[in-house]
Amino acid sequence: MDLKDYWKNKHAKYATQEWTYRPSIFATYAIKYFPENGKLLDLGAGQGQDSIFFAKNGYKVTSTDFSPEALQKAMKKAKAEEVKIDFLELDLTNQLPFGKEKFETVYSSLALHYFDEETTKNLFKDIARVLKTNGVLACLLNTIDDPEVRESQMIEEGLYKTSSGLVKRYFNLKYLHQITDQYFETVIADNHGETYKDEIKTLVRFIGRKK
């Protein structure tokens, strides 16, 4: 599967949906746990609705995504909303291109669950590296309770190839703690997450402070 083409087509469809023009349920929930201000890194920001929400609330936002088409749409929205955001095309299978302890907050909504176990562990370790001590990580993740799992082929424990050909990791709380407890003090870890675009209401939510 060509991932660039996959996400180009996905974002063309998403652009017609009204939810891409308002902050997500998770963003409006998570922000109350953030530091009051400072630099915020949005990983897998898609079309930028959450990045714009955070920028309007006073954060200095760096908004990243794998898809150049998503970033173009996000840039257009940010310009229309007259908010300043730094945009960057970013492949999360590579090391984050930021210095140590650069951000007060790292945020990600449904973007950290596409990787094998080694890549996933390295990514969370790298997120901790770029966060300041007591900085906050907030992320929303796929859940192993997703009915999609039953129609998918397991590649390794927790990692599946879906019927569309996309590879996804489906989290449970035990695995979440295995990869976060070394770096973060847990504030929220549950499976009560939801979105405007999907019916499922058991997405995994994590909010933690860097130790």
**Contacting residues for 55 by C-beta, under 8 A, at least 6 apart:** 61, 78, 83, 84, 85
Q: Is the pLDDT of residue 1 over 90?
A: no
Convert the pLDDT of each residue in 23-81 to its tens digit: 999 999 999 999 999 999 999 999 999 999 999 999 999 999 999 999 999 999 999 99
Q: Which domain holds residue 40?
A: 3-210
Q: Give CA separation, 45 vs 65, 68, 173, 175, in Å.
A: 6, 11, 23, 24
Convert the pLDDT of each residue in 162-182 to its tens digit: 998 999 999 999 999 999 999
**Contacting residues for 200 by C-beta, under 8 A, at least 6 apart:** 143, 145, 146, 147, 194
Count of the separate structural domains present in the chain: 1
Task: Supply 135's token pair.
Answer: 């900085």
Q: What is the CATH number of the domain that holds 37?
A: 3.40.50.150
Contact 108, 140 (CB under 8 A): yes
Instruction: Count Cα atoms within 13 angstroms, Cβ side, for 184.
Output: 28
Q: Is the pTM here over 0.95, yes or no?
A: yes
